[in-house]
């Protein structure tokens, strides 16, 4: 099982801030997961935007990153505090 | 010292504590960021701050380490709120102490630019009639870019 987190405005788009699910075995990279989720939520490319970064187990990664050993995957829109 | 929490920040109290901690320093600079009463979307009813622990804390810790590498600082303190806040509430408190003022001013400025553009937070503004997530402004990014090439003073 993998925990998926949707931060900031993404939780409004997906309708949830987190979920835990069994990912299809054919999905083995962060980029493939992005495409699969965008279709699943019917978000019309919102999850495909390059400004949305993906963190695997709290490490920011590239779309080519493997999902092997991924326990928590976060989808992060542009950040900013203060 | 770093604290990211939903706990209320009392900037005056934090300054007093920091003055005691940095009693040997020549200068102290503090910055308090407050929730605005008015924003582009209208009158602000509340602001919600979301963090991703421990990534948020690790990033700020790294920025504080970077500040200590660039400037000779005696002490550094960063406090940041999460959760729901009301207009006038302190969102962020940054304090730096150094032997001389310039290092303290610049380090506080540097840390605020980091917090505004790179710290792992998401902000949602509620105006009563609408609520929307806020991204950093262009000015925030150009302010942060000032530090890309900077010598230690």
Are B116 and A8 an interchain contact pair (Cβ–Cβ within 8 Å)?
no
User: What was the pLDDT predicted at B149?
Assistant: 64
Q: What is the pLDDT of residue B39?
A: 82
Q: CA of A77: which chain B residue's CA is closest?
A: B122
ipTM of the modeled complex:
0.93
Q: In the prediction, which pLDDT does B25 show?
A: 97
**What is the band of A32 on the pLDDT scale with cuts at 50, 70, 90?**
very high
Pick the residue of B92, B110, B135 with the most A CBs within 10 A to test the interface with A by mutation: B135
CA distance B113 to B139: 10
CA distance A2 to chain B (A): 17
| pLDDT for residue B152 | 52
The predicted pLDDT at position B100 comes to 96
* Cβ–Cβ contact A14 with B under 8 A: no
Asked whether the beta carbons of residue A80 and residue B49 sit closer than 8 angstroms, the reply is no
Residue A14: its H or E element = helix A9-14
Q: Which of B57, B39, B58 is nearest to B47 (CA)?
A: B39
Do the beta carbons of residue B64 and residue B2 sit within 8 Å?
yes
pLDDT, tens digit, 9 for 90 and up, residues B51-102: 999 999 999 999 999 999 999 999 999 999 999 999 999 999 999 999 999 9
Question: Rounded to a whole number, what is the distance in Å from the CA of B144 to chain A's nearest CA?
Answer: 12
The structure's pTM equals 0.93
pLDDT for res B41: 75
Rounded Cα distance between A69 and A45, Å, is: 26
CB B121 within 8 A of CB B56: yes
B80 and A CB contact within 8 Å: yes
Average confidence score pLDDT of chain B: 94
Q: How confident is the model at residue B150 (pLDDT cuts 50, 70, 90)?
A: low
Q: Return the H-helix or E-strand segment holding B131.
A: strand B131-134
A-B C-beta contacts closer than 8 Å: 61
């Amino acid at each position: 099982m993998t925990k998926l987190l949707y931060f900031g405005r993404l939780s409004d788009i997906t309708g949830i801030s987190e979920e835990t699910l069994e990912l299809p075995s054919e999905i083995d990279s962060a980029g493939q997961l992005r495409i699969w989720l965008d279709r699943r939520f019917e978000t019309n490319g919102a999850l495909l935007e390059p400004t949305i970064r993906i963190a695997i187990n709290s490490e920011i990664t590239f779309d080519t990153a493997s999902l092997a050993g991924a326990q928590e995957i976060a989808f992060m829109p542009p950040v900013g505090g203060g | 010292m770093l604290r990211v929490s939903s706990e209320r920040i009392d900037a005056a109290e934090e300054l007093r504590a920091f003055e005691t901690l940095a009693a040997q320093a020549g200068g102290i600079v503090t910055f308090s960021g407050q929730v605005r009463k008015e924003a582009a979307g209208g009158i602000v009813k509340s602001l919600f701050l979301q963090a991703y622990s421990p990534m948020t804390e690790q990033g700020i810790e790294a920025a504080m380490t970077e500040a200590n590498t660039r400037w000779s600082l005696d002490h550094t303190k960063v406090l940041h709120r999460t959760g729901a806040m009301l207009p006038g509430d302190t969102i962020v408190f940054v304090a730096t102490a150094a032997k001389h003022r310039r290092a303290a001013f610049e380090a506080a400025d540097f840390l605020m630019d980091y917090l505004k553009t790179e710290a792992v937070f998401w902000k949602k503004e509620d105006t009563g009639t609408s609520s929307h997530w806020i991204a950093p402004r262009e000015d925030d990014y150009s302010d942060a870019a000032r530090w890309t090439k900077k010598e230690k003073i």
